[in-house]
Structure 1
């Protein structure tokens, strides 16, 4: 199973951080939560290593990709509490990430392939993490419609029927309007540099295509 490509590593915003130390990237991530470039740079630095550790843990590449995203989601949330001290004994970031991968291998159960909705090429782990945070800023009904149509690939008639069965007075036009509202709210909540890296004209990511 070959290693995935990391096209974000060639973006100018990420290249500008290539000489930063691990500690500087962690500090940037912690001090500037509205900027995603520090986490992307960390992901590009340690992404191949962590994938290599995981790729023999499942039969399907979909399962490996899902486990990989789970690892980096855990890293994303736990980095906020990581202390790397200057001038004294400090944790090696590579060792810390290796331990997170090992914990995931030990503790996480792999879902059946047919239940996995995640694809690495559509939502690389940094983008996936920031989208999950941004979804909290989307109103409930538009968020539900967005998730059903984007993640579960439900067609509008099915969404309409389910919502009407739950007592929602909704039309096909309403569904499209709510979905567009969700796209706009989600994009507005994403850090600008995340958008620059993943939604530039040359990017293959198409999460917001409607």
Structure 2
């Protein structure tokens, strides 16, 4: 039985639809040559996401764990594909075969946390956006990244974040934390590729 992916926000975007006629090799090459653009990785995901989702879903115990392993698999693919050369793989593999091999490796080797410890939501954060979001986080200044993670991941209040930073030797108020968060969100958005912002963050036009 095929387990269906949730609706993909990227699949109907004009930038992605314009790439549907590209071959796998062309998409991989464009992905490698243009790291400042995310549309090529998104197009590959749209092409093979369902195949990998079905494989992973049938090998895990719960939908929550399936989604977690699915996004971790695509995160691994994102990094490995930067240097992928299918011409030198032994034996020679198609992109689909390479992706299936990666999924099988992740199923066999990855440590999947218990359901109650997983906070990831596939519907809220598609795997492609997840990959570029983490890349953007890694590019941010340390203090901005810290307050953002404390606020979003741990759901800490401004007051609690200020108290934590004060204990770490920084003189900062809750209102200062609020301003830091504004700067952090802006820095995070600025660090995302322009096409990724367009695909995942742009608000749809309102028609009368």
SS in 2 for 1:80: helix
Q: What's the CA shift for 1:198?
A: 0.2
- Contact conserved, 1:146 with 1:179, CA < 8 A, in 2? yes
TM-score under structure 1 normalisation? 0.90
Cα distance in 1 for partners of 2:181, 2:98 equals 40
Cα distance in 2 for partners of 1:3, 1:131 equals 21
2:100 aligned with 1:98: yes
Cα deviations by residue, 1:71-103 (Å, 9 ceiling, x for unpaired): 000000000111134xxx952000000000000
Instruction: Flag structure 2 segments of 5+ consecutive residues without an equivalent.
Output: none
Which residue number in structure 2 is paired with residue 45 of structure 1?
A: 47
2:120 aligned with 1:118: yes
- Contact conserved, 1:117 with 1:152, CA < 8 A, in 2? no
Which residue number in structure 2 is paired with residue 188 of structure 1?
A: 190
- Contact conserved, 2:9 with 2:200, CA < 8 A, in 1? no
Instruction: Flag structure 1 segments of 5+ consecutive residues without an equivalent.
Output: 204-210
Q: Which runs of 4+ in 1 moved over 3 A?
A: none
Q: What value does the CA root-mean-square deviation take over the aligned residues? A: 1.8
2:81 aligned with 1:73: no
Cα distance in 1 for partners of 2:38, 2:82 equals 13
Which residue number in structure 2 is paired with residue 208 of structure 1?
A: none
2:109 aligned with 1:107: yes
Bigger shift: residues 107-116 or 89-98: 89-98
Q: How many residues align?
A: 201
Cα distance in 1 for partners of 2:152, 2:67 equals 18
SS in 2 for 1:40: helix
Cα distance in 1 for partners of 2:130, 2:17 equals 21
SS in 1 for 2:139: coil
Cα distance in 2 for partners of 1:119, 1:151 equals 13
Q: What's the CA shift for 1:202?
A: 2.9
TM-score under structure 2 normalisation? 0.91
Q: What's the CA shift for 1:193?
A: 0.3
Which residue number in structure 2 is paired with residue 201 of structure 1?
A: 203
- Contact conserved, 1:76 with 1:129, CA < 8 A, in 2? yes
Bigger shift: residues 158-167 or 12-21: 158-167
- Contact conserved, 2:159 with 2:173, CA < 8 A, in 1? no
Flag the 1:84–1:59 CA change in 2: closer, same or farther, 3 A: closer
Q: What's the CA shift for 1:14?
A: 0.2
Cα distance in 2 for partners of 1:145, 1:60 equals 32
Which residue number in structure 1 is paired with residue 173 of structure 2?
A: 171
